């Protein structure tokens, strides 16, 4: 009989920077779910990858002085390295610069256009570069992105639009008939109330103001909107292409997806735009979209600008890969945001991994070695707390599996570790060391140690999905091949008389004071380096020396700004009309990023008056304002009593 298929995906990571701990949580969680579903006997296909197009990447590449392709090659390589370091068992890592994906996305866009879902018009509104998202006047409150809180830019350009309204009623009907489609429930309410009931505007699905994207096949002045591009990866990775007469077997077998695991910040794209695109393609919708919360650094959002970023690979160097996986999975609630601080990392590691799990395995192995020569003893009659321990184990298996099926990952782990805590309590209740002193009590001692060894084995089977390397170590310590879920259907599968393997320390306890002191020192060093780099970058090297005669060739004059306005086709340019006292002239200046026309009108400035005329965006400029450069431009203003036309010496 063929296995039941299970297709699971992460959102593909945006290739603008190295992923931090919060970004890495998603791949760890998805991997745990994928491993669990494999353990349940399903035919799992696990997709992840990198989103490599968009304006932000084009800007990052320009700042780095390399091509966008070179830039994403580096970042995507880093993303994959970290995913591999976290022991992620993905089946495919897709990149949106892959030719197969590019070709398919172009064909998808063309299909939308040919069937009338896409039309050409002009876009004017607010755009968030980091989120690659468009917003209306009402959505961009106080000029900020409603998703990430960063400033949005005013954008006006020719673009293609998708007729979202054609599919709104159909999508609403699907959500109503499939209550499990969007989870958690509160996320579904946000999407329905904030977007669908408010009415969907047609979506801008191309850009013409930058070039780093998939070109529109029939209009190469445009690149395809990054979210059409990125979302399509879930089907192009399986070989889907609307131009094919027959789809690939991989697509026919695994689509629709059983679940898309994504961050709550991109839920709108996955539960509104993506289903509508699929409807337009005539394809079935994914069964579920699960929007997980964020990992904050303490109570603040994790961001490099705040200096509170923690990277999963760096943390793994300190507490092991499974230490990172365990913290990520155990600290993220089902619906509320999780939190990470170095203090909580140490506390969780020492309490759960070193004390609860590690100590249980170490003590049990040591007592078995000491009292029974390292051989699994034969259990005898059941007494005292034995029945309660076994009942706890049985309940933990059933409950942790139910919780994992429902994506309550942290709750599932807590159930398993609750079982381990019960085993530690069982040691205190039965006192094996006391039983060992009395020869008639040896059968009872054998029962106690067998029950502990079997509970540890069950725990290792359950933990395989979460901390797989640790589970394998425990199987090695027990020297057992009973490692699958079928082996824990009944308590007592551990082979009596089998010799245990070598003992080993699973998690060495961390010295909290030293650990925190070392992290504080690292942070201080990093801040000093950053400050030094910022200071160095602020000061440009001196230009080559000039003579006095060279300097005197520049005719600097006092002028008053009479008129100032933005150039409609240039975001950075202002057009000024200035009065030099003896004449008026027009100057175009690239200071719009830091100055509004109101900042300049009526002010007296210094003008390079003998600069040869030049055309900027088709407008003639006769002179230049004197200003300092850098991250922020600062125009040199003069006192109101400075006579117009005076030469500056």
Count CA within 13 A, CB hemisphere, residue 172: 15
Per residue in 83-92, pLDDT (tens digit) is 999 999 999 9
- Could you tell me which CATH number the domain at 548-638 has? 2.40.50.140
Distance in angstroms (rounded) separating the CA atoms of residues 222 and 605 = 41
Distance in angstroms (rounded) separating the CA atoms of residues 134 and 355 = 50
Q: Residues in the chain, how many?
A: 649
Please state whether 621 falls in left (phi above 0), alpha (psi between -120 and 50) or beta: beta
Per residue in 263-292, pLDDT (tens digit) is 999 999 999 999 999 999 999 999 999 999
**Which of 475-479, 523-527, 546-550, 597-601 shows the lowest per-residue confidence on average (mean pLDDT)?**
546-550
User: pLDDT at position 307, please?
Assistant: 67
Distance in angstroms (rounded) separating the CA atoms of residues 597 and 574 = 8
Per residue in 213-222, pLDDT (tens digit) is 999 999 999 9
Per residue in 217-239, pLDDT (tens digit) is 999 999 999 999 999 999 999 99
Distance in angstroms (rounded) separating the CA atoms of residues 15 and 309 = 17
Q: Among candidates 101, 60, 396, which has minimal Cα distance to 229?
A: 101
Per residue in 292-313, pLDDT (tens digit) is 999 998 767 777 666 678 999 9
Q: Among candidates 237, 235, 228, 227, which has minimal Cα distance to 265?
A: 227
User: pLDDT at position 625, please?
Assistant: 86
Q: Which of the 8 DSSP states describes residue 555?
A: -
pLDDT greater at residue 201 or residue 28: 28
- At 536, the pLDDT band (50, 70, 90 cuts) reads very low
Question: Other CB atoms closer than 10 Å to residue 184's CB: what's the count?
Answer: 17
pLDDT greater at residue 42 or residue 148: 42
pLDDT tops 60 at residue 540: no
- At 317, the pLDDT band (50, 70, 90 cuts) reads very high
Contact call for residues 15 and 75 (beta carbons, < 8 A): yes
Contact call for residues 311 and 20 (beta carbons, < 8 A): yes
User: pLDDT at position 524, please?
Assistant: 86
Mean pLDDT of 247-273: 97
Mean pLDDT of 549-562: 82
Mean pLDDT of 99-120: 98
For residue 244, give both structure tokens: 């094919």
C-alpha dihedral over 406, 409, 413, 419, to 10 degrees? -10
- At 537, the pLDDT band (50, 70, 90 cuts) reads very low
- At 629, the pLDDT band (50, 70, 90 cuts) reads low
- Could you tell me which CATH number the domain at 341-488 has? 1.10.730.10
Per residue in 136-166, pLDDT (tens digit) is 666 777 788 876 777 888 877 899 999 999 9
Give Cα 315 distance to the centre of its chain.
17
pLDDT tops 90 at residue 391: yes
- At 425, the pLDDT band (50, 70, 90 cuts) reads very high
Q: Among candidates 439, 479, 438, which has minimal Cα distance to 456?
A: 479
C-alpha dihedral over 590, 596, 598, 601, to 10 degrees? -10
User: pLDDT at position 515, please?
Assistant: 97
User: pLDDT at position 541, please?
Assistant: 52
Task: Supply the pTM of this predicted model.
Answer: 0.80
User: pLDDT at position 545, please?
Assistant: 66
Q: Among candidates 482, 11, 545, 529, which has minimal Cα distance to 232?
A: 11
pLDDT tops 60 at residue 618: yes
Domain ranges of the chain: 341-488, 548-638
Mean pLDDT of 457-465: 98
For residue 284, give both structure tokens: 């079935």
H or E, element range at 455: helix 442-463
Mean of the per-residue pLDDT values for the chain? Answer: 91
Written in H, E and C, the secondary structure of 161-208 is EECHHHCHHHHHHHHHHCCCCEECHHHHHHHHHHHHCCCCCCEECEEC
Distance in angstroms (rounded) separating the CA atoms of residues 366 and 92 = 42
Distance in angstroms (rounded) separating the CA atoms of residues 452 and 360 = 9
Distance in angstroms (rounded) separating the CA atoms of residues 59 and 69 = 12
Distance in angstroms (rounded) separating the CA atoms of residues 415 and 404 = 11
- How many angstroms separate the Cα of 256 from the Cα of each of 1, 287, 491? 21, 7, 38
- β-pairing verdict for 295-297 and 300-301: antiparallel
Q: Among candidates 343, 318, 314, which has minimal Cα distance to 331?
A: 343
Mean pLDDT of 429-454: 96
Q: Among candidates 29, 143, 39, 38, which has minimal Cα distance to 86?
A: 29
The residue written with tokens 């900027």 in the block is 616
The stretches of 496-553 forming alpha helices (DSSP H) are 512-538, 548-552
């Amino acid at each position: 009989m063929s296995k039941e298929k299970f297709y699971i995906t992460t959102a593909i990571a945006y290739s603008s920077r190295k992923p931090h701990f919060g970004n890495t949580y998603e791949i760890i969680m998805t991997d745990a779910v994928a491993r669990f579903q494999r353990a349940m006997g399903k035919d799992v296909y696990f997709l992840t990858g990198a989103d490599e197009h968009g304006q932000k990447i084009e800007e990052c590449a320009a700042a780095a002085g390399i091509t966008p392709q070179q830039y994403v090659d580096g970042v995507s390589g880093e993303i994959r390295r970290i995913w591999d370091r976290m022991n992620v068992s993905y089946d495919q890592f897709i990149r949106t610069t892959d030719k197969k994906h590019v070709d398919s996305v172009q064909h998808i866009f063309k299909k939308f256009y040919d069937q009338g879902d896409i039309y050409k018009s002009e876009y004017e509104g607010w755009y968030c570069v980091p989120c690659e998202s468009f917003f209306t006047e009402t959505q961009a409150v106080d000029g900020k992105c409603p998703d990430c809180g960063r400033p949005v830019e005013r954008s006006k350009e020719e673009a293609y639009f998708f007729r979202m309204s054609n599919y709104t009623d159909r999508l609403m009907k699907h959500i109503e008939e499939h209550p499990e489609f969007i989870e958690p429930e509160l996320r579904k309410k946000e999407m329905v109330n904030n977007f669908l009931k408010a009415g969907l505007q047609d979506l801008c699905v191309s850009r013409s103001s930058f070039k780093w994207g998939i070109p529109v096949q029939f209009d190469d002045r445009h690149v395809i909107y990054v979210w059409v591009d990125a979302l399509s990866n879930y089907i192009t990775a399986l070989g889907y292409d609307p131009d094919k007469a027959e789809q690939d077997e991989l697509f026919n077998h695994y689509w629709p997806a059983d679940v898309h695991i994504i961050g709550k910040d991109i839920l709108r794209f996955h539960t509104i735009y993506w289903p509508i695109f699929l409807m337009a393609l005539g394809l079935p919708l994914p069964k579920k979209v699960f929007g997980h919360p964020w990992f904050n650094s303490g109570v603040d959002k994790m961001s490099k600008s705040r200096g509170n970023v923690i990277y999963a690979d760096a943390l793994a160097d300190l507490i092991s890969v499974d230490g990172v996986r365990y913290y990520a999975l155990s600290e993220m609630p089902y619906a509320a945001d999780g939190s990470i601080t170095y203090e909580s990392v140490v506390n969780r590691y020492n309490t759960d991994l070193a004390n609860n799990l590690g100590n249980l395995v170490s003590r049990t192995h040591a007592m078995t070695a000491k009292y029974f020569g390292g051989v699994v003893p034969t259990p005898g009659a059941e007494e005292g707390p034995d029945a309660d321990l076994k009942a706890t184990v049985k309940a933990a298996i059933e409950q942790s599996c139910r919780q994992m099926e429902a994506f309550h990952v942290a709750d599932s782990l807590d159930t398993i570790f609750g079982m381990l805590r019960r085993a530690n309590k069982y040691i205190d209740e039965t006192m094996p060391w006391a039983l060992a002193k009395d020869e008639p009590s040896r059968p009872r001692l054998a029962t106690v140690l067998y029950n502990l060894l079997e509970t540890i084995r069950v725990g290792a089977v359950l933990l395989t999905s979460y901390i797989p390397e640790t589970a394998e170590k425990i199987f090695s310590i027990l020297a057992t091949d009973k490692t699958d879920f079928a082996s824990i259907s009944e308590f007592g599968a551990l082979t009596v008389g089998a010799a245990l393997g070598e003992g080993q320390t699973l998690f060495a306890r961390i010295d909290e004071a030293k650990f925190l002191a070392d992290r504080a020192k690292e942070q201080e060093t990093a801040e000093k380096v950053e400050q030094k780099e910022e200071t160095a970058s602020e000061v440009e090297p001196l230009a080559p020396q000039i003579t006095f005669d060279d300097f005197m060739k520049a005719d600097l004059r006092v002028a008053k700004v009479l008129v100032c306005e933005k150039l409609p086709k240039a975001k950075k340019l202002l057009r000024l009309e200035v009065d030099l006292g003896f004449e008026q002239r027009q100057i175009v200046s690239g200071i719009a990023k830091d100055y509004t026309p109101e900042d300049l009108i009526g002010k007296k400035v210094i003008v390079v008056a003998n600069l040869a005329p030049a055309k900027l965006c088709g407008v003639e400029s006769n002179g230049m304002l004197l200003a300092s450069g850098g991250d922020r431009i600062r125009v040199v203003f003069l006192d109101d009593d400075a006579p117009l036309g005076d030469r500056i010496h």
